[in-house]
Amino acid sequence: MFAEFINTYGVTILYAVLTGVFGWIGIQLKALAEKYINTKEKQAVCKTVVAAVNQIYYDLDGPEKLQKAIESASEMLAAKGITVTDLELRMLLEAAVNAAKGGTANAVA
């Protein structure tokens, strides 16, 4: 009876299991690709915003420039449908400022 069941439905069950496994793998790969693309997009937006804020608001001091950069980057990323936390945005902007100044981040021991 079991052998008959396997002979009748075994291939169908195998197809269903493989479809589920490959579907899950596809979803995971898509999530990784989106994360990578979003990270690159966030970095590019922050680099652009830092350059623009330095150009447009050259007469403002550091905290005011940072606030303008946060507002601009948040708006640009929201328009692209990319969510970002305040902390992540601040870190990305600081990294972009450091790169714009030609600096290299010092390793924390």
What pLDDT shows up at residue 62? 83
pLDDT band at 63 (very low <50, low <70, confident <90, very high): confident
Each domain of the chain, given as residue ranges in start order, spans 2-100
Task: Provide long-range contacts, Cβ within 8 A and 24+ apart, for 86-90.
Answer: 88/42, 89/42, 89/46, 90/66
DSSP of 15-69, one letter per residue? HHHHHHHHHHHHHHHHHHHHHHHHHHHHHHHHHHHHHHHHHH-TTS-HHHHHHHH
From 2-6, 37-41, 85-89, the region with the lowest mean pLDDT: 2-6
pLDDT, residue 24, reads: 95
pLDDT for the residue 108: 41
pTM of the predicted protein model = 0.66
